[in-house]
Amino acid sequence: MARKAAIIGGGVIGGGWAARFLLNGWDVGVFDPDPEAERKIAAVLANARLALPALSDVPMPAEGKLTFHGTIGEAVDGAEYVQESVSERIELKHKVYAQLQQANPGVLIGSSTSGFKASDLQKGSPAPENIIVAHPFNPVYLLPLSEVSGSPKNTPATVEKTVQIMKDIGMFPLVIRHEIDAFIGNRFLEAVWREALWMLKDGIATTEEIDDAIRMGFGLRWGQMGLFETYRIAGGEAGMRHFMAQFGPALKWPWTKLMDVPEFNDELVDLVASQSDAQSGMYGIRELERIRDQNLVGFLRSLKERNWGAGKVLREHDERRRAAFHAGTLDGTPLKMAEMQVLPGWIDYNGHMTESRYLFCASEVCDAFLRLIGADMDYVAGGHSYYTAETHIRHLDEAKLGERITGTLQVVKADEKRIHTFITLAVGDRPVATVEQMMLHVDMKAGKACPAAPEVLVLLNPIATAHAGLPVPEGTGRAVGQKKG
Ligand SMILES: NC(=O)C1=CN([C@@H]2O[C@H](COP(=O)(O)OP(=O)(O)OC[C@H]3O[C@@H](n4cnc5c(N)ncnc54)[C@H](O)[C@@H]3O)[C@@H](O)[C@H]2O)C=CC1
Ligand SMILES: C[N+](C)(C)CC(=O)CC(=O)[O-]
């Protein structure tokens, strides 16, 4: 049975949480009095469905069931976790917790609050230990950070349970060790926001110029190394100490206006909003969200390839799901090994997935299979691997932008040195290509074929035996130009 989360407040952030839980296989019950909430969540979910699966290299679980409810009590019924995402008003949050704890007394409540401390949120609650901060960043379905911040009233077990739930949905829970307003992320962002408002108000730069200064320069660095690692490099070979010596005195120079806040009045709002309209008003918000998501997917995918920063979190999430997935897949049928989404860069001038990507997809399927039988990176580091000796691709149908391709693999024949595989790439139940391959087991140092290690054969052989009982897949052994049948 699917696990269930309740999302209380289905606006920008609640919608993002709903999408993340649903796409990770949880059922989600939503309560939001806004009559538009269902439509808004559907729009967020549509964008999330295009973006989040593109980060995964293992099959995503079946999407959970989304339900909308007329009361908080119905939404939280049967939920093991609540993500509260109502507007940032403390009295509203207190009212919501009272209703939640009356309906489901032991339920764990994580708050999306941007700045209230857990001890502020817990005031007046009969069970303060079950209320904790789990502060996300927009878009919740793509960005992994969740700042988990408790008070002395939360037990270590509550913190750990929250951490585990965040990991289960692919997030990076950062436990904040000291209770502070706005945690780490927003304390930092607020400082940047104040400086930006000053520069606007003083007529130093426009919204667009400030955004350009970020996105053409240091913003790109922050996304992959943060602040300290970046500055360490800026110190040259002498590193951080040299950086500090060189730029330390600047701390006392009038570089910032940080302690002063520009007066927040209509004039300031008009200045920011009108410049922002001029800069980006040609795009609708949902359109901007899709542009942002595609940029983030490309960025995150390249971090994933390098197993770095947020990309490492994605890989770890894949590993956890891979283990769960394979536990249920070794049943003697062709192995469902990988799922991929057709990304914008994969489309050619004919408007469909370009031919090299079929081989790329097959190689993802094949690598997943090799990991399954223990021929993984540690095995390769030990000097042995499988090399592909021959590949035959048949293109059966088109794959279009955004479609999800499932790759299944059947072992046609295997012995100590060879694996003959037949991979089917399908969109739903429509095969788009088959890829037949012969792989040779190789001693990499000697550059020669040799028998695979016993620990690999012990995993490979039962699969090969089970698959030997299956019909030989249609198309096996075909040559280019050969007539069907
Ligand atoms: N927008 C952002 O960038 C971020 C916001 N947050 C936090 O997330 C929370 C929600 O913020 P947003 O989604 O931006 O606001 P929003 O205004 O988009 O959504 C708030 C939702 O709460 C609903 N609501 C109001 N009273 C309610 C009640 N009694 N029960 C259930 N729902 C109710 C509203 O109808 C609305 O749909 C806030 O605590 C905010 O500080 C956290 C991270 C980022
Ligand atoms: C502006 N904000 C304070 C609501 C921002 C956040 O809380 C995090 C984010 O997504 O930037």
Q: Say if residue 149 is in the same domain as residue 26.
A: yes
Return the higher-pLDDT residue of 483 and 390.
390
For the chain, percent of residues with pLDDT exceeding 70: 98
**How many whole angstroms from 37 Cα to the centroid of ligand 1?**
11
Q: Which atom of ligand 2 lies closest to the CA of 190?
A: 3
Maximum average pLDDT range among 156-165, 245-254, 471-480: 156-165
pLDDT digits (tens, 9 = 90+) for 305-349: 899 999 999 999 988 887 776 665 667 789 988 888 888 889 999
Instruction: Please report the ipTM that was assigned to this predicted complex.
Output: 0.97
pLDDT digits (tens, 9 = 90+) for 201-213: 999 999 999 999 9
**Residue to mutate (ligand 1; options 20, 32, 96, 132; most atoms within 8 A of CB):** 32
**How many whole angstroms from 280 Cα to the centroid of ligand 2?**
20
pLDDT digits (tens, 9 = 90+) for 176-198: 999 999 999 999 999 999 999 99
Torsion sign across C-alpha atoms 329, 3, 137, 345: positive
Whether the CB of 146 sits within 6 Å of ligand 1: no
Whether the CB of 34 sits within 6 Å of ligand 1: yes
Q: Are 130 and 108 a contacting pair, CB within 8 Å? A: yes
Q: Say if residue 190 is in the same domain as residue 170.
A: no
User: Residue 415 has what pLDDT?
Assistant: 97
Long-range pairs of 191-194 with CB within 8 A, sequence gap ≥ 24: 191/258, 194/257, 194/258, 194/260, 194/261, 194/262
Helix (H) or strand (E) holding 296: helix 285-305
User: Residue 263 has what pLDDT?
Assistant: 80
Domain limits for position 423: 331-468
Average pLDDT over residues 395-416: 94
Q: What is the pTM of this model?
A: 0.80
Average of per-residue pLDDT values in the chain: 92
Whether the CB of 53 sits within 6 Å of ligand 1: no
Q: Say if residue 259 is in the same domain as residue 401.
A: no
Q: Say if residue 464 is in the same domain as residue 345.
A: yes
Q: Say if residue 231 is in the same domain as residue 201.
A: yes
Q: Say if residue 14 is in the same domain as residue 105.
A: yes
Return the ∠ at Cα 88 (arms to 197 and 101), rounded to 5°. 160
- Give the Cα separation of 179 and 183 in Å (integer): 7
Q: Report the relative pairing of strands 384-395 and 172-175 from DSSP bridges.
A: unpaired
**255 lies in some domain:** yes
DSSP 248: G
Q: Say if residue 90 is in the same domain as residue 118.
A: yes
pLDDT digits (tens, 9 = 90+) for 65-77: 999 999 999 999 9
Which ligand is the nearest neighbour of the Cα of 92?
1
Average pLDDT over residues 370-398: 95
Whether the CB of 244 sits within 6 Å of ligand 2: no
**E strands, 128-246, in order:** 131-136, 145-149, 172-175
Q: Say if residue 268 is in the same domain as residue 192.
A: yes
**448 lies in some domain:** yes
- Give the Cα separation of 308 and 153 in Å (integer): 35
Count how many domains the chain has. 3
Which CATH number do you get for residue 342? 3.10.129.10
Average pLDDT over residues 26-35: 98
Res. 264 pLDDT band, cuts 50 70 90: confident
For the chain, percent of residues with pLDDT exceeding 90: 73
Residues in binding site for NAD(+)? 9-14
Which CATH number do you get for residue 231? 1.10.1040.10
Q: Say if residue 78 is in the same domain as residue 170.
A: yes
Q: Is the pLDDT of residue 485 over 70?
A: no
Q: Say if residue 189 is in the same domain as residue 169.
A: no
